[in-house]
Amino acid sequence: MGKRRKLSQKGPSHAPKGVSGKQQQQQHGGHGQKPKKPGGSNSTPKTSGASSKPQQQQQQQQQHAEPTIPFAPEDKILLVGDGDLSFAASLIEHHYCADVTATVLEKDLEELQEKYPHVGENIGKIEAEDSRVVFGVDATKMAPFTDKKGRDGTGVMDRIIFNFPHVGGKSTDVNRQVRYNQELLVSFFKRALLSLAPGGTVVVTLFEGEPYTLWNIRDLGRHSGLQVAQSFKFQAAAYPGYHHARTLGVVRNKEGEVGGGWKGEERAARSYVFVRKDEAPKTVPQKNKKRARDAGDESSDDE
């Protein structure tokens, strides 16, 4: 048993916040309602001094900066299309996740290292903590992860995470690219449902803005038997060591050195948490410290 697994079993000191927006509303007093004061009044006493507002704004900014983590250390987690495996390594090393299965499309280690020469270090971190890497897994055709073989098997994954799915440069035509990526997501959703444990969630992260908004990910989920329980801003800084890995591999400059180009982890992105239709999600333990909700950061709807 790896040391990270042992740490994760000691207690909820690293337990992240929940994924259910409705439950958060209930715990925070409903839709933006302030808890009543002992005297029965919700009025806020006026304060004197010019320094109160800046202090309040600073506190709110600090509260809003707290990232949403859609899993708990004890969850059984499946990562799909994990690129250079830096996300999986971060979950294990910094979030103390004890049971991670990281999958990649590449058929073997040699092919993966051609795309991401540094991947060996991440694999070492994953396998050292009793988690595993599985090669040759196509998100659109992946075999189900179940408790037993055959149609009677039940999915075992509490969280299935697909960060920044993309088919790669199949076409320069925007409409074709949108269609190809929509087909990718629909096929992924259908396969993911077979591996999803009761009450489990499927988390997909996309960059914000076009062309990604044209994919209409919420509708794709609905047509696949899923619904959005929550969406929130993806904050790459919450995963130390994580770097966005492009589908086609690392970016090299004119001298052939690794580096250059835009960094995906610095772009605005949003995560969508899906559950089976008419099914309540398995919640993630809440932190003791409650925070104010920022409508731009987090939402709980299935528009």
CA dist., res. 67 & res. 257, Å (int): 33
What does the pLDDT read at residue 152?
78
| CA 265 centroid distance within chain | 13
Q: What are the tens digits of pLDDT across the range 165-178? A: 999 876 778 899 99
Chain-wide mean pLDDT for the chain? 78
Q: How confident is the model at residue 12 (pLDDT cuts 50, 70, 90)?
A: very low
- 194 with 114: CB under 8 angstroms? no
Q: Report the predicted TM-score, pTM, of the whole model to 2 decimal places.
A: 0.74
pLDDT tens digits for range 58-95: 555 544 568 999 999 999 999 999 999 999 999 999 99
* C-alpha dihedral sign at 104, 106, 109, 112: negative
Paired tokens of 35: 């808890």
Beta-strand relationship, 269-276 and 196-207: antiparallel
Torsion of CA 278, 281, 282, 286, to 10 degrees: -140
Ranked by mean pLDDT, the top range of 18-22, 38-42, 236-240, 251-255 is 236-240
Q: What's the token pair of residue 60?
A: 């709110």
pLDDT number for residue 34: 42
Q: Is residue 291 over pLDDT 90?
A: no
Q: Which of 160, 126, 157, 139 is nearest to 247 (CA)?
A: 139
pLDDT of residue 25: 39
Residue 293 or residue 207, greater confidence: 207
Which residue carries 């259910």 as its tokens? 20
Residue 284 has a pLDDT of: 76
Kindly tell me the number of DSSP H helices and DSSP E strands found in the chain: 8, 8
| pLDDT band at 55; cut points 50, 70, 90 | low
Rounded to 5°, angle at Cα 15 from 10 and 20: 145
| Rounded-to-integer distance, Cα 157 and Cα 144, Å | 10
* pLDDT score for 244: 83
| Residue-level pLDDT at 295 | 44
* pLDDT tens digits, one per residue of 237-261: 999 999 887 655 554 445 555 554 4
User: What is the spatial distance between Cα 250 and Cα 118, in angstroms, rounded to a whole number?
Assistant: 10
Q: What is the pLDDT of residue 247?
A: 56
Higher pLDDT, 303 or 184: 184
pLDDT for the residue 11? 43
**Euclidean distance between CA atoms 144 and 288, whole angstroms:** 36
Q: Is pLDDT at 96 greater than 60 in this prediction?
A: yes
Strand partners, 204: 162, 272
pLDDT one-digit tens code per residue, 177-215: 999 999 999 999 999 999 999 999 999 999 999 999 999
Per-residue pLDDT, averaged over 27-42, amounts to: 42
> 196-207 and 132-134: which strand pairing?
unpaired
Instruction: Please give the full DSSP string across 1-63, using - where no structure is assigned.
Output: --HHHHHHTS-GGG----S-HHHHHHHTTSSSPPPPPTTS--PPPP--STTHHHHHHHHHHHH
